[in-house]
């Protein structure tokens, strides 16, 4: 009996060691396919799904990507349905550029509007952004980048022709720092000031953003699970939303990301959800 138990424990130990070595080999092989491709050095990092990057850190010339997103946010007096179309590409090594069109459609929920009118449906803005990776340190698995995003804010559809088409500006310089811990664990910090110009009041308002990200990438794949912590702060307000998320690779160049939104303090915004479809034309990866 004792001999049988000891044999079972030994067999289980061997199986665990074999599984660990298999996963390590799969991770090493997959990471090598990304990092050792022709071009400048690049470290594989997990990219957040809600506040995404302009392009992969260490972008290589010719990389490009389409993003299509949709989501719903439960607000206190109305629901907000969002959609976006985004194109990003790398014209030269380590420089990423992006154009995005974000839409919001509002639906007032009967019984809790309390006399508050829902905002008008709109193309929120034209977003233009650039990001340059200035550090890729392969031995420590660290990458750093700096970028700038500018939004040209637009009026609701119902006000077209009745008011100025340009309602304001949002200027957002930012820095990104990311590190991969071993093969599977990823952390990323995205932060910077926000400068908002209101076209009606002609005043600038200053606030800040800080986004912390923690992800675990499944062995030998681009699939991951993680948590995105989005924080915005100003002199009079502080908002944080926790966004658990997962990304699945459907094919060589098609991925889908699913994101939940849980505000830390429920003021006007409540629970939310978001789905991002990522299409990489011309890319060849393993699942």
CA 177 – CA 141 distance, rounded (Å)? 11
Q: Look at residue 24 in the predicted model and tell me its pLDDT.
A: 52
Q: Look at residue 145 in the predicted model and tell me its pLDDT.
A: 98
- Domains in the chain (CATH in brackets) are 37-279 (2.40.160.40)
Q: Look at residue 112 in the predicted model and tell me its pLDDT.
A: 52
Of 75, 134, 132, 127, the closest CA to residue 105 belongs to 75
Of 136, 54, 42, the closest CA to residue 95 belongs to 54
pLDDT digits over 54-102, tens only? 999 999 999 999 999 999 998 877 889 999 999 999 999 999 999 999 9
Q: Look at residue 9 in the predicted model and tell me its pLDDT.
A: 41
Q: Look at residue 28 in the predicted model and tell me its pLDDT.
A: 56
Q: Which two tokens stand for residue 68?
A: 């299509």
Strand-pair partners of 127: 100, 151
Q: Look at residue 76 in the predicted model and tell me its pLDDT.
A: 77
Q: Look at residue 103 in the predicted model and tell me its pLDDT.
A: 97
Check: CB of residue 96 under 8 Å from CB of residue 90.
yes
Q: Look at residue 187 in the predicted model and tell me its pLDDT.
A: 98
Q: Which two tokens stand for residue 264?
A: 């830390």
pLDDT profile of the chain (287 residues), mean per 10: 46 45 52 67 95 95 96 87 97 97 86 67 97 96 98 93 88 98 96 93 93 96 96 89 97 94 81 96 60
Q: Look at residue 270 in the predicted model and tell me its pLDDT.
A: 82
């Amino acid at each position: 009996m004792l001999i049988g138990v000891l044999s079972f424990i030994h067999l289980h130990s061997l199986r665990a060691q074999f599984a660990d070595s298999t996963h390590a080999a799969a991770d090493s092989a997959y990471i090598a396919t990304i990092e050792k491709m022709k071009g400048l050095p690049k470290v594989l990092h997990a990219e957040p799904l809600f506040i995404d990057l302009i392009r992969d850190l260490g972008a290589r010339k010719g990389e490009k990507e389409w993003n299509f997103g949709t989501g719903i946010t439960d607000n206190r007096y109305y629901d907000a349905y969002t959609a976006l179309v985004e194109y990003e590409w790398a014209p030269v090594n380590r420089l990423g550029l992006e154009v995005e069109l974000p839409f919001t459609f509002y639906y007032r929920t009967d019984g809790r509007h309390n006399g508050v009118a829902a905002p008008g449906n709109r193309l929120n803005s034209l977003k233009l952004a650039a990001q340059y990776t200035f550090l890729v340190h392969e031995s420590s698995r660290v990458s750093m980048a700096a970028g700038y995003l500018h939004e040209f804010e637009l009026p609701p559809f119902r006000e077209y022709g009745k008011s100025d088409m340009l309602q304001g500006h949002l200027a957002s310089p930012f820095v990104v720092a990311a590190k991969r811990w071993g093969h599977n664990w990823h952390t990323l910090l995205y932060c910077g000031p926000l400068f908002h110009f209101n076209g009606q009041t002609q005043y600038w308002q200053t606030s800040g953003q800080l986004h912390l990200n923690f992800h675990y990438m499944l062995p030998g794949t681009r699939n991951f699970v993680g948590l995105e912590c989005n924080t915005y702060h100003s002199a009079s307000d502080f908002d944080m939303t926790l966004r658990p998320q997962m990304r699945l690779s459907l094919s060589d160049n098609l991925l889908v990301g699913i994101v939940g939104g849980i505000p830390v303090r429920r003021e006007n915004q409540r629970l939310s959800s978001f789905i991002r479809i990522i299409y990489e034309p011309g890319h060849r990866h393993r699942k």
